[in-house]
Structures are given as structure tokens and as C-alpha cells.
Amino acid sequence: MTPRKISRVRITEFNKIMYMNSPQVYIKAPARLHLGFLDLEGSLGRRFGSLGLTLDGIATRIVARRDSHFNVLGKPDERVVKLAERFFEIKGLPGGCEIEVLEQIPAHSGLGSGTQLALAVGTAISKLYSLGFSCEDIAVTLDRGKRSGVGIGAFQHGGFLLDAGKNQSNFIPPIVSRIAFPSKWRVVLIMDSASHGLYGDDESTSFSSLPPVSSDIASYLCRLTLMQIMPAVSEQDLGTFSKGIHDLQRCMSDFFASQQGGRYTSHVVGDAIGYIESLGIKGVGQSSWGPIGFAFVGSEEQALVLLRALQEEFRKKKELQFKIVSGRNTGAVVQQQGTVSLPAAAKF
């Protein structure tokens, strides 16, 4: 089967008139923090296991419309093209679509941009043509969730999430706990516009090059998560939560330092995190491979005070940017305007 090329040219005014009343699907997929892995040793039959938080304030937003051809509008990139091509080809779908990209989570920043974009594209196409594909099916089709399930959980449910890792039979680690994140708490994000985290083949190579992890460390991290971090979220105990995140992140940064060039992927983000710690704030760290860093605080007012202090302290570091966000306790927004059904036996 020869893949069909997606045209990236902007449609004409005539085509706009032709398709303005056609079915369309709007998707808003939230960013997430990946706070760490629990078991990189895997002797019990499951490996990885992830802790993560869905974020409000940063998202990927797209609109998909029925079309006889493929078009990508707005702020297209190669990922949108490849995802749409792969989905239609693997599922054997006829027809086409127009995807307008309204906003994207920064790529390779540690916020789950790849998974959220893939799920947004696949879900939009499935909804547009009334195909009924599940989120898990879409993730497998588009090769997402190979190590962590928190991005898929963020898209489906939102909240503070724990997945149980991978065994020999599952492709996507299952979400085994979802807790509503305290609405008053805030996250101050530290972003380095001049850096990016590992991804793709480099990420896979780095995982294969990591040293063995002792069962003692895996046991400690699982206990830390179950007996300290998760109860603290449920009880809205920021002090205990922050201490647990600090200890989890310390283990993660020590373990991945050899592959990311130090405790943090970005040295300037590391400097900002060190400054935050000097202020007595313990709930800090790096999301996934970074470079994005984070700090948990108890209120919007505390977040604003910290934001102003960071902006003043690092005013000469133009690559550093800071943003206040909150946890999000709902998943992706999916809105439909009309649908069209495809013949069951239709193939390219």
C-alpha cells in the first residue's frame, strides 16, 4: 500500500465555503508532568510505573473537518502530517480530513506533547467519521504509551495519576489510581527555550544504556509513592507531598544524570530550581527528560510571589521563562458538530 501524501497548502476561499458547514471535531488535549518512574528494576514482572499530574493552562488544540483530501492548516509540523497519514493507512480508512492546529504544547519539553498530539489527531478522526476507536486503540495505532500511561490517563481522565508499568502482555501501562489534585495548589513551571529533552531514537538508546537499578531503590520509591505522596494529595498536605516529590526526584535525577548531562537537562533550569530550594520550597524537580522544571506551592498568591522573585533573580537569562499553572482534574475537551459514517467495508 502506497502512503498518500498530505497536502500542507492552505485551502482556497472556495473550499472554505464548500466545507464551512461540514462536520468538524474540536479537541483540547492537556499537558502533563511526568514526576518519575517507580520500578526500573522489574523483577516482579512489571517495569517502569509512572506518577504524573495533568495540567491546566497548557494544551494542544486542533479542529478536524471532513474533506476529500488532506490539508494541515494553522501551525503545522511534520508530526501532524505523519500522525494523520499513519492513522488513515493502518486503519484502512477512505476519505480525508483537514486538520487545523490552533495551539501546541511545546515539543520535547517534558510536557507530553507527542502523546497529546497523537491522541488529539486520532480521536478527532475517529469522532469525525463515527468510528468508535478507544483511546487505548488510538494510542497503540500511533505508537504512544510504550513506557508510561500517564499521558493517556491525562487525556482520558485528568487528575493526579499512577500507572502500574508494563508487563509482558500489555502495550499500555494501566492507570491504577486517579486522585483529584487540590484546586488551590499551583505549579510554577521553569522553561528553557534554548534546550530540549531526549526523544525518539535518542531516548530509546538512553534507556537501553542505563545502569541496573537495585530492588531496594524500587521498593523505596513504591513505598514513598503509596505511603507518602498519594495520601498527601488526597489529604491536601502540601508539606508531606513536597517532601515526597523531593525524594522521588532526587532518585530520578541521580539515576538519569549520566544520560541527560547532569541532575537536570538544562543547567539554567537547574540553577532556577536551586534558587527555589534556597527559599525553602522542597517540591521541585524536572518533568520527564526535561528541560522543563517545576515547583509546587500552596496558592495563587504564593505562586505570584515566587514568579516575581524568579523573574528578578534571572532577569538576565532571556532563555528562561516562567509560568503559573494549576492541576487539571478533567481530561481532554472533545466537541463535535455533526458526524459522517463510513461504509464498514470501505478500504483505500
Task: Among 155-159, 233-237, 340-344, name the one with the lowest average pLDDT.
Answer: 340-344
CA angle 233–214–46, rounded 5-degree value: 65
pLDDT at 203: 59
Q: Are residues 290 and 228 located together in one domain of the fold? A: yes
Q: Are residues 278 and 334 located together in one domain of the fold? A: no
CATH number at residue 255: 3.30.70.890
Model confidence pLDDT, tens digit, residues 93-118 = 887 889 999 999 998 899 999 999 99
- pLDDT tops 90 at residue 299: yes
- Cell numbers placing 184: 488551590
pLDDT at 346: 32
- Cell numbers placing 284: 521541585
Q: Is the pLDDT higher at 66 or at 311?
A: 311
CATH number at residue 94: 3.30.230.10
- Cell numbers placing 216: 531496594
What is the arithmetic mean of pLDDT over 272-288?
97
What is the arithmetic mean of pLDDT over 288-304?
96
Give the domain range for residue 281: 182-327
Closest CA to 155 of 25, 62, 32: 32
ω into residue 30 within 30 of 0, thus cis?
no
Cα separation of 69 and 63, whole Å? 15
- Beta-carbon count within 10 A of 238 CB: 20
Q: In this prediction, what percent of the chain has a pLDDT beyond 70?
A: 86
Kind plus residue range of the DSSP H or E element containing 102: strand 96-103
Report the predicted TM-score, pTM, of the whole model to 2 decimal places. Answer: 0.88
Q: What domain count does the chain have?
A: 2
Q: Are residues 102 and 203 located together in one domain of the fold? A: no
Q: Which residues contact 201 (CB under 8 A, 6 or more apart)?
A: none
What is the arithmetic mean of pLDDT over 317-341?
89
Cα separation of 233 and 237, whole Å? 6
Q: Are residues 71 and 113 located together in one domain of the fold? A: yes
Q: Are residues 50 and 158 located together in one domain of the fold? A: yes
pLDDT interval class at 75 (50, 70, 90): confident
Cα separation of 134 and 108, whole Å? 26
Q: Are residues 147 and 33 located together in one domain of the fold? A: yes
Q: Is the pLDDT higher at 261 or at 252?
A: 252
pLDDT at 294: 98
Query: To which residue does cell 500522525 refer?
Result: 83
- pLDDT tops 50 at residue 345: no
Q: Is residue 79 a contact partner of residue 178, using CB atoms and an 8 Å limit?
A: no
Q: Are residues 147 and 254 located together in one domain of the fold? A: no
Q: Are residues 343 and 239 located together in one domain of the fold? A: no
Model confidence pLDDT, tens digit, residues 205-225 = 666 667 778 899 999 999 999
Q: Are residues 110 and 161 located together in one domain of the fold? A: yes
- pLDDT tops 70 at residue 85: yes
Closest CA to 212 of 55, 47, 57: 47
pLDDT at 1: 44
pLDDT interval class at 19 (50, 70, 90): very low
Q: Are residues 1 and 106 located together in one domain of the fold? A: yes
What is the arithmetic mean of pLDDT over 133-157?
94
Most confident among 140-149, 205-214, 261-270, 296-305 (mean pLDDT) = 296-305
The amino acid sitting at 133 is: F
- Cell numbers placing 192: 528553557
Q: Are residues 301 and 153 located together in one domain of the fold? A: no
The amino acid sitting at 245 is: I
Burial class (CB in 10 A: 0-12, 13-18, 19+), 343: exposed
Q: Are residues 99 and 73 located together in one domain of the fold? A: yes
